[in-house]
A and B are shown apart, each in its own frame.
Chain A
Amino acid sequence: QPVLTQPPSASASLGASVTLNCTLSSGYSNYKVDWYQQRPGKGPRFVMRVGTGGIVGSKGDGIPDRFSVSGSGLNRYLTIKNIQEEDESDYHCGADHGSGSYFGEVFGGGTKLTVL
């Protein structure tokens, strides 16, 4: 199954922009990836799905327009513009895999976003 790699941490100043990256392992460039936001002490919240052509489907409930996605090759990006304090969260990427002996979700290790 694919391996999803995320940098463990990122930071950005209030009002600035940041792009978070999720990299798929080789051979999985056609995979779509889901982004999830997890605020401290809360359950994950679906942000949106991304493929190489950009967003797939709709954003999750209440996700502001400041959040956008893009994809290229093995990379799937989540960009947050005009960062607010409430954006300080862990961001996880995940992908569905269904072949061979593995039928389920695969998650990256998560990126902790700090708002300065």
Chain B
Amino acid sequence: EVQLVESGGGLVQPGGSLRLSCAASGFTFSNYWIHWVRQAPGKGLVWVSRINSDGSSTSYADSVKGRFTISRDNAKNTLYLQMNSLRVEDTALYYCARAEGGFSYGSLDYWGQGTLVTVSS
């Protein structure tokens, strides 16, 4: 069974940092692109970042470029999102999601349950 489990969320002050993790199981993690998508309370889905199967290619939404860094450890079947210079508007539930078929353009066919990040003073 494919599973994605996010962790690392919490309450942080503006300007602070947080590292999210996404532990994968039930599939060959190293074969797939993985994305981060966030959802502010009561709002829609917003794409954040993605990384290719071996970690050599990444892309980011303009709103987080230069502040967030996506990475992965295929030996540990884990995806990360390092978030620096956090802003109040980064408050959201953060999901990791797998792209189908090992392609960057694949549908996001499996999602985790999310981890909540709250940025507030």
Q: Which residues of A contact B (CB under 8 A)?
A: 34, 36, 42-46, 49, 57, 60, 92, 94, 96, 98, 102-110
Contacts and interface: CB of A to CB of B under 8 A. Distances in A.
Interface in B61-116: 61-62, 95, 97, 100, 104-114
Q: Is the interface of A mostly helix, strand, loop or mixed?
A: strand
Given A60-B109, A105-B108, A43 B114 contact: yes
Contacts of B105: 96, 98
Q: Is the interface of B mostly helix, strand, loop or mixed?
A: strand
Given A103-B59, A105-B35, A45 B111 contact: yes
Closest 5 CB pairs of A and B: A105-B47, A103-B59, A96-B105, A43-B111, A107-B45
A46 B113 contact: no
Interface in B38-60: 44-47, 49-50, 59-60
A34 B44 contact: no
A47 B94 CA distance: 20
Contact of A44 (B45, B61, B62): B45
Interface centre among B45, B47, B112 (most CB of A within 10 A): B45
Given A43-B113, A45-B111, A94 B104 contact: no
A92 B44 CA distance: 8
Interface residues of B, number: 26
A12 B62 CA distance: 38
B37 interface: yes
A34 B107 contact: yes
Contacts of A34: 107-108
A108 B43 CA distance: 11
B109 A108 contact: no
B104 A98 contact: yes
Contacts of A44: 37, 45, 95, 97, 108, 111
B108 A107 contact: no
B74 to A, nearest CB: 21
Nearest to A48: B107
A98 B47 CA distance: 13
A96 B106 CA distance: 8
